[in-house]
Amino acid sequence: MKKVVVGMSGGVDSSVAAILLKNAGYDVIGLFMRNWDASVNNDILGNPTLNNNICPQEQDYNDALEVCKKIGIPLHRVDFVKEYWDYVFTYFLDELKLGRTPNPDIMCNKYIKFDMFAKEALKLGADFIATGHYARIQNGKLLRGIDNNKDQTYFLSQLSRQQLSNVLFPVGNLEKTEVREIAQNYGLITASKKDSTGICFIGERNFKKFLSNYLPNIPGDVVDIETNDVLGSHIGLMYYTIGQRRGLNIGGNKDRLFVVGKDISNNILYVAHSNTDYLISDSAVIDNINWISDNKPSECVAKFRYRQPDNKVSLDYINDNEIIVHYPQGVKAVTPGQACVFYLDDECLGGGIIKEVRKSNKKLWYL
């Protein structure tokens, strides 16, 4: 009997993944990862919601434990607090300092869930590891999950083929509604549990209060990119992302404003009025390239943000680590620090990180 170690998060997706694997005849073991020291950080992270004075991460562990007891599998627990800080959270802060908009979930998958976790699973005798991601693997290819609204291959785009070689994604062939129905049929505590949001393994926080504990707030001018008029003050460039139109808090300005750029050296946040032409780019430099597939096409589709519609692109290969992606039709709010992920039909080919955004071969104001 093959042994599978399942990453039990305390959510419905990993709960159902464990059920499906057990029903398929695998020897299933649950493994819960503790990646954030909530006991130290609770008071400074924006007062996360507590349930009977239990921090959210401990509640997730309790939920995972109850699920494992219900379906009759053991649950182990492992501590990756230091590794998470070193490989994910430090990256997150460093990118914010540069004025970029990072995606820590992608790095968490690369360095924690499919690296540190996989090594721990091997210690437990695992033949395979499994998670509750909405994705599929067929014939060595990483494919989108059946549920287009939940597909998570975007977050798996920095994994290597070796990392994916012994991975199972049991819920990838299901719609989210089907997953919840299975959980309800088994009477699981996670059946109606809200999906996790916020920063990977840290969860929902008061973002401004949270970041202020690690990066200083440095207020500066908000400037109209068209007139160069100072419209107000921002509370720190790290709190804003390209295309943002809410939370600007510029008093007395009735027009809808969009964030269109950041001048890091002068600490200026640039905005534009309803005209969104400033947000449209037609090419981008992508670095930190990771190919999962052997297929490196000259044309494919790409996503520049999670749940963004597919965009037709052509690829100009500069070197092994850098590609210029062209999209002459124009795409709004392509943002440095986010991932650009490539697809051919349902196959996720791999991806990289957006380094620079251009329009008519000129670098935009973004950074």
Indicate which residues carry an active-site annotation. Answer: 108, 200
Alpha-carbon distance of 246 to 244, in angstroms, equals 6
Q: How far is CA 343 from CA 40, 49, 74, 323, 346, in A?
A: 41, 38, 38, 15, 7
Q: How far is CA 109 from CA 51, 67, 365, in A?
A: 27, 23, 31
Helices (H) and strands (E) in the chain, counts: 10, 18
CA-derived radius of gyration, the chain: 22
Alpha-carbon distance of 45 to 207, in angstroms, equals 8
User: How far out from the chain centre does Cα 109 lie?
Assistant: 9
DSSP labels for 320-365?
TTEEEEEEEEEEE---TTSEEEEEETTEEEEEEEEEEEEETTEE-T
